[in-house]
């Protein structure tokens, strides 16, 4: 689908992370789960 609105910014952040080989993005924003190539961790969830 077409990416619009705030999703444009999420897509840009995800693309930059992937381009710079970021292995894990620490964020409380669940929207990044749309990008399966980018592993995300929620720092507020107490994950190990």
Q: What is the pLDDT of residue 3?
A: 74
Task: Give yes or no for a contact between 5 and 22, defined as CB atoms under 8 angstroms apart.
Answer: no
| pLDDT value for 30 | 92
Is the CB of residue 35 less than 8 Å from the CB of residue 19?
Answer: no
- Tokens (6 digits) for 7: 């999703």
Three-state SS for 42?
Answer: coil
pLDDT score, position 21: 97
pLDDT (tens digit per residue) in 1-48: 677 888 899 999 999 999 999 999 999 999 999 999 999 999 999 765
pLDDT digits (tens, 9 = 90+) for 12-21: 999 999 999 9
14 in Cβ contact with 35 (< 8 Å): yes
């Amino acid at each position: 689908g077409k990416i619009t609105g705030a999703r444009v910014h999420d897509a840009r952040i995800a693309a930059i992370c992937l381009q710079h080989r970021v292995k894990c993005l620490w964020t409380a924003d669940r929207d990044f789960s749309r990008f399966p190539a980018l592993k995300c961790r929620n720092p507020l969830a107490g994950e190990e």
